Amino acid sequence: MDRQNLFSDAWDGDDEEDGTRHRVFWRPADARMTQDEQVACFRNAAAHLEPNGCFVIEVLVPRLQRLPPGERFQPFAVEPTHLGFDEYDVVRQGLISHHYWIEDGKVDVISPPFRYVWPSELDLMARLAGMRLRERWGDWSREPFTADSPKHVSVWETPAADAARA
């Protein structure tokens, strides 16, 4: 993964009806392996947004409450064609998501690393980048975000033009 270019995967577009400009990024913020890289991701997003522009991400909530003390591994998929388990490093907020895909007698192994991050930490990163939390949901259908939500969709926005000048 090219960690130098935080937004190499992007799409730009305009809404022809109301002139709204969209910029969509799909490399997750938690794929940055350090807090500094995650803060840089937020700052880069804010730098590309117009006043009242929104930065929206979906992030999984780590299931640490299900991890017994002293354990590092937690299964999340046990199926005939897919085995998956997460490996936690609670000291460094690290997570490796191990996937074993089994098809036609072959096994494909993928183990991407992540740095898990809590919603409150993401809110602070947004504040450091000059944004504020606008909304947070438990999923894309805008269900409430609760302590039991396995993920969240969070929306941060940049200040209005007049507030930016003040």
Report mean pLDDT in 10-residue bins for the chain, 166 residues: 34 50 54 83 89 89 89 94 95 92 94 90 95 95 95 92 56
For the packed helices 119-128 and 35-47, what is the interaxial angle rounded to 10 degrees?
50
Q: Note whether 79 and 66 are within 8 A (CB).
A: no
Query: What are the structural domains of the chain?
Result: 10-62+117-165 (3.40.50.150), 65-114 (2.20.25.570)
Which spans in the chain are helix H? 35-47, 119-128, 161-165
For residues 88-107, one letter each, b for 16 or more C-beta atoms within 10 angstroms of the residue's C-beta and e for the rest, the string is beeeebebebbeeeeeeeee
Residue 1 has a pLDDT of 27
Cα–Cα distance, 65 to 86 (Å, whole number): 14
Contacts of 36 (CB under 8 A, 6+ apart): none
Residue 48 has a pLDDT of 86
Fill in the amino acid letter for 105.
G
Residue 164 has a pLDDT of 52
